[in-house]
Amino acid sequence: MIFFAGFVAASETTLTAASRARLCSLAKRGNKRAKKVVALQENASTSISSILILNQLVAYLIPTVGTLFLFKYFAVGHAAVLQIVFGILVLIYAEIFPKMLAVKFPIQFALFAGPFLYRATKILKPLTQILEKCAKFTLKLTGIEADKRDSSEQADEELRDTIDMRPSEGDEDEAQKKSMLKSILDLEEITVDRAMTHRKNLRTIDASLPLEKIVEELTVCPFSRIPLWKDNPENIIGVLNIKTFFRALQLQKNGLDKIKIEKLAFAPWFVPNTTRLLEQLQDFRKKREHFALVVDEYGDLQGCVTLEDILEEIVGEISDEYDAETSGFKLQADGSVVADGAISARDLNREFDWNLPEEDAATIAGCVMREARKIPDVGQTYVLGGFKIEILKRQRNQIGLVKITPPLKAAENA
């Protein structure tokens, strides 16, 4: 009975300690034992209840039978001493040792115990259902909703915690992997206006320009697609694929006037600025596109978002031969950072492992202006989330350059 009690105690531990991801992988490969353990984990409440019933049963039998045995075959004094020894043995071999074993070999023990637990759960199901209803009724009397929980949110938090637990100190590759994994999870929370190219930096072309002028501009354009506008820079009438344009140009060598640039452009794709990056990524895949224009709730153009913008949220800045050699920030000797006002707080957080607030505004300039509730002057200093931000440069109504001094601990990490 002691060994059976140990088996039950270890089963309870291994059911929670065994990696569900590893077991699911084994189940997909056809491991029948793993399939049963996964089924037990998916219905953890019933499984644990069944184990506890077995545990209570054997916990009742062991001292009862043990006491009868000791007092029948031993003197009262000896029986009392042996009962203490017997209790110590139960504590060690029915609780401590089996649970240590289950923690040490969670997958192996889960596969070993799985078939028995699966069958025991089936047999005890009617009893566990009655007991669970009693427990839920008691919880309801106290005002607690037992079934009210967000499993997807809980799973995300568990995954984030698992990523954070992965050791990465002194290993740049591991740190990069952790950052990328967490960035993938963040795609579901970040909106496109946090990753887009703002309309101020959006490169467009006037469709009414002479074709010779358009050819000159497109020849030096570093992008594969460019929005066309007419009458008003915000009146986007189409998006031109530069490859398509030059292909048409090659076919019409004898007459540029025959090329109608508006007919070569495809219809612009507008998306709300509140669209989540994960949703936009999925839409890019479905439509087999990687360029969209971002508008606000009033339909006003805010900028553009591309597939590369979303990928950069995961892997960091992607540079090619056309990108300017600038990061938008420079680390100083004293641990502070001089940054362009247009750089995002998220980019700085990922680069230096900071925790600048990034929920309320996309850029550092936006964060400062939101905190100040006005356009600050050069030399003014603000504290934002423990970070001291000094205004170094202002261009008209825009913050051009800031100096960010992190808290001491963040500076040491950077």
Task: Render pLDDT for 160-202 as a digit per residue (tens, 0 to 9).
Answer: 777 777 776 767 777 778 878 888 888 888 899 888 888 888 8
What number is the average pLDDT over the span 104-130? 90
Return phi, psi of residue 164, to 5°. -65, -30
Q: What is the pLDDT of residues 20-79, one digit of tens each?
A: 888 888 888 889 999 999 888 888 888 888 888 888 888 888 877 877 777 777 776 676
> What is residue 278's predicted lDDT score, i.e. its pLDDT?
93
What H or E segment, with its residue span, contains residue 369?
helix 364-372
Mean per-residue pLDDT of the chain: 84
Q: Say whether pLDDT at 148 is over 70.
A: no
Task: Write out the two tokens for 320.
Answer: 């090619």
Q: How far apart are the first and last CA of the chain?
A: 57
d(CA 328, CA 177): 23
Residue 294's closest CA among 207, 205, 227? 227
pLDDT at 409 over 60: no
Query: Where is average pLDDT lowest: 215-219, 220-224, 319-323, 329-333?
Result: 319-323
Rg over CA atoms, the chain: 32
Give pLDDT, residue 268.
93
- For residues 268-291, one letter each, b for 16 or more C-beta atoms within 10 angstroms of the residue's C-beta and e for the rest, the string is beebebebebbebbeebeeeeebb
Give the whole-angstrom CA distance, residue 193 versus residue 295. Answer: 9
Predicted local distance difference test score (pLDDT) of residue 338: 92
Extract the tokens encoding 132.
Answer: 């669970």
Global model pTM greater than 0.85: no
Domains and CATH numbers, the chain: 2-148 (no CATH), 152-186 (no CATH), 192-315 (3.10.580.10), 329-413 (3.30.465.10)
Under the banding of pLDDT at 50, 70 and 90, the label for residue 312 is confident
